[in-house]
Amino acid sequence: EQAAQYVATHEFAHTILNMRDPLSDKRNFVGADYAKVRSARKEIESVYDRYMKEVETLTKTAKDIELQVIAEPDLEKAMQLKQMYGEAGAALKEKKLSDYSLVNADEFMAEAFTNERIGNRSNPYGREVMQILTKYFGRR
């Protein structure tokens, strides 16, 4: 049941704002004002760009430390590196919404919306996406 709720919420998010084809009548399921759609899309794409850069940096840091752990012959140093690796992994987990959120801005938006709406795991990027969606499409 929880998986079905997740999928339904994720797909619903695509009906709010389609990032790939926002101006197509076929994709504008909610009859949104095109100016709002364009503005929201631009803001979310900006957040997505920042998100991708941060996730890429955190991923690279974790992988670099992991390689150092593997290559370190000194056990004490290896244990220190292992702790650093754990901290780097925790930082990545805090920021990364999901693997699917890395596909494109559309999936990022839908994953952010889903995580914030059904409470799987809130994060700063998800909250920022929700603020944008609320600004353009929320109740007044």
Q: What is the CA radius of gyration of the chain?
A: 19
The answer to whether 81 touches 68, Cβ cutoff 8 Å, is yes
pLDDT at 37: 81
Query: Do the beta carbons of residue 138 and residue 120 sit within 8 Å?
Result: no
The pLDDT value recorded for residue 128 is 97
Give the whole-number percent of the chain exceeding pLDDT 70: 87
Instruction: Provide the Cα torsion 135, 136, 138, 140; round to 10°.
Output: 80
At residue 57, does pLDDT exceed 80?
yes
Provide DSSP, 53-67.
HHHHHHHHHHHHHHH
Q: Can you tell me the mean pLDDT for 85-114?
A: 94
At 100, is the pLDDT very low, low, confident or very high (cuts 50, 70, 90)? very high
- The pTM assigned to this predicted structure is 0.83
Residue 96: pLDDT above 80?
A: yes
> For 77-90, how does the pLDDT look when each residue is reduced to its tens digit (9 = 90+)?
999 999 999 999 99
Q: Specify the pLDDT at position 14.
A: 83
In this predicted structure, the answer to whether residue 135 has a pLDDT above a threshold of 70 is: yes
